[in-house]
A and B are shown apart, each in its own frame.
Chain A
């Protein structure tokens, strides 16, 4: 590795890897770093003539913020747990040959390319009280009218939101696990089987632990996204309490400019949760 790296330097670049990294890092530093710094500064009211912790105090002492935080955490936990579980099942299903496997794998990947906004609208039209499933139920004589169908969207338990994230992220988790299973190959499980493990024991004691690092990383990405996305809860969520990102946006677009520092503070809360996730799931090798 070291040898080839040296020779590569001599051929192209003739410099340190930092030179090649600099442009990308600068862009990320200005946009992402700058965004975070200005967001933080804004949450302390800087740039608006004065600095203080008023916005933070207001935000942290407001019941609505805590309820929104609770809702967003619930959405993220439930979505991540279900997506990981079903994604694992799907990967275990799709890794073995069966008729139509290739097509199933291809169709399985389609969700990955669908914009969240489109998927969320699809879930709304599928699961709402006048949606497709409700109409099927009415056709089957199970319900009399839209009101007879359970509220699955814009509901208290955020079922529609969670359904969307699970629908969208199961293929994400599943494909990552499939790729990992492919690179692990069958040998670890075969070795366990030869040493006397049943198929289930080989999966539970050997395959799953080997997949766990990838699953944790993928799960962290799903958690961060379902915690912090705006377009899904804004369409599928109820009006109060709203998910934390929706609340931040409401404060940001409030005609009363005085609420902007609060919007920034909520945005920083979201960033903080993401940072904790990175700390827990990504930084350890």
Chain B
């Protein structure tokens, strides 16, 4: 169990216009599972490789339990990286792959065999030790890669997009497995993903990374409903942004005065609420809107409407959306607990 500190890491790849990491800082407690979430190209995989010791940062520090590890080569760090592609060694069978790290530690053969069997058991691949990597399915390969890391009982496990190469139906299963193994072993785990849902399910906390820095860290629901700024809100699909002023628990804007939840920031800002939070009908914070367009999106219907010269988008179930036709006026309720203010925007 290792606590991880990333302290103002900066890194620019040679020839790249923008830095891959820019003053990136992050804290992970011992035994925590944290999801590092971000769009592709935001530098999250680079960050993972810096922690693993595969890339040296230009500046900043990486500390395990408070001690800097920057001078340590990857093989002497307590972190093990599981690559996105699994990177099973094609010339070794499954057991040899899983036992590779133990062999590097020059463990006795009997111990290696025993621990390899144990690890394969953990990932439910007990009898596949003699298979060659090319004989495995994508999901099995990923599980072998996971076992290969877990067998070393690392202080810190680094997972790079562990689910992205899997079919949709395998993802849920693998997600459950990762979650369960992390609980059982208590290994501090940093998992990198571009998928919001995956981040929310896997991480005790989620760290959102945009443009080489961490923009917000917290429980999934917090990032979702209480974004720190406009970019974070947009990343999570936020589309309703209402400029105005927050004072004394109320928000003054083109829609009138809206009640805010307790603790909302004060001052000039931008009100945001998620489209699926809007409800039809009367009540506190009800506003009249003019429907512009409705779009059927399967489970939900997206309704674009106009109110006070502002554009609002709502996502509603079929029943709630009934009656919303272009040109019609409706009453929508904006529940206070779903509102959030982005200060100074």
* Residues of A close to B49: CB separation below 8 A: 190
Does B52 sit within 8 A of A, measured CB to CB? yes
Cβ contacts A171-213/B at 8 Å (1 or 0 each): 0000000000000000110111111111101000110011010
Q: A187-B83, A198-B75, A201-B104 are in contact. Are A193 and B91 (CB under 8 A)?
A: no
The residue that B152 contacts in the complex, of A187, A192, A195, with Cβ under 8 A, is A195
Size class of the B contact interface (CB-based, 8 Å):
20 to 34
Question: Which chain B residues (87-102) contact chain A, with CB distance < 8 Å?
Answer: 87, 89-91, 100-101
Number of A-B contacts (CB under 8 A): 62
Cα–Cα, bound, A196→B80 (Å):
8
Interface of A is mostly: helix
Task: Check if B104 sits within 8 Å of A194, measured CB to CB.
Answer: no
CA distance in complex: A195, B158 (Å): 11
Residues of A within 8 Å of B85, CB to CB, are: 187
Distance in Å: Cβ of B322 to nearest Cβ of chain A: 43
> In the complex the two chains form, is A196's CB within 8 Å of B105's CB?
yes
Contact A190 B75 (CB under 8 A): no
| Across-interface contacts of A197 in B (CB, < 8 A) | 75, 100-101, 104
A190 to B101, CA, bound (A): 13
CA distance A194 to B75 in the complex (A): 5
Q: Which residue of A lies closest to B77 (CB)?
A: A194
B264 to chain A: closest CB distance in Å?
A: 44
Within 8 Å CB of A209, what residues of B?
A: 89, 91
Given A191-B81, A195-B100, A196-B105, A206 and B89 touching (CB < 8 A)? yes
Task: Say whether chain B's binding surface is mostly helix, strand, loop, or mixed.
Answer: mixed
- Shortest C-beta distance, B128 to chain A (Å), equals 19
Chain A residues with a Cβ closer than 8 Å to the other chain, count: 18
CB within 8 A of A195: which of B90, B91, B149?
Answer: B149
B249 in contact (CB, < 8 A): no
Chain B residues lying within 8 Å of A198, measured Cβ to Cβ, are 73, 75, 104
Closest Cβ of chain A to B107, distance in Å, is 11
A192 to chain B, nearest CB (A): 7
Q: Which residues in A have their C-beta under 8 angstroms from that of B74?
A: 190, 193-194
Known: A187-B83, A187-B85, A201-B104. A196 touches B90 (CB 8 A): no
How far is it, in angstroms, between the C-alpha of A190 and the C-alpha of B74 when the chains are bound? Answer: 8
Partner pick for A192 among B53, B89, B90, B158, CB 8 A cutoff: B89
A195 touches B54 (CB 8 A): no
Cα distance, A193 to B72, chains bound together (Å): 12
Asked if B148 is at the interface of the complex by the 8 Å CB criterion, the answer is: yes
**Is B79 part of the binding interface, using a Cβ–Cβ cutoff of 8 Å?**
yes
Complex Cα distance A206/B80, Å?
17
Most buried by A among B52, B53, B91: B91
Q: A188-B87, A188-B89 are in contact. Are A193 and B73 (CB under 8 A)?
A: yes
Instruction: Check B75 against A196 for contact (C-beta < 8 Å).
Output: yes
Check if B87 sits within 8 Å of A191, measured CB to CB. yes
A contact residues around B148 at 8 Å (CB): 195
Residues of B within 8 A of A188 (CB): 87, 89
Rounded to whole Å, the gap between the CB of B297 and the closest CB of chain A is 30
Set of chain B residues within 8 Å of A199, measured between Cβ atoms: 73
Residue with the highest number of chain B CB atoms closer than 10 Å, among A190, A197, A199:
A190
B83 in contact with A191 (CB, 8 Å): yes
Q: How far is the CA of A98 from the CA of B168 in the complex (A)?
A: 44
- Hey, which bits of chain B sit against chain A, CB under 8 A? 49, 52-54, 73-75, 79-81, 83, 85, 87, 89-91, 100-101, 104-105, 148-149, 152, 158
- Give the 8 A-B residue pairs with the shortest CB-CB distance, closest first: A195-B101, A191-B87, A196-B104, A193-B74, A209-B91, A194-B81, A196-B75, A196-B101
Additional 14 contacts, C-beta under 8 A, given A190-B52, A195-B148 = A187-B87, A190-B54, A191-B83, A194-B52, A194-B54, A194-B79, A195-B149, A195-B152, A196-B75, A197-B104, A198-B75, A210-B89, A210-B90, A210-B91
15 example contacts (A-B, Cβ-Cβ < 8 A) are as follows A187-B83, A187-B85, A188-B87, A190-B52, A191-B83, A193-B54, A193-B73, A194-B75, A194-B79, A195-B80, A195-B101, A196-B104, A197-B101, A201-B104, A210-B91
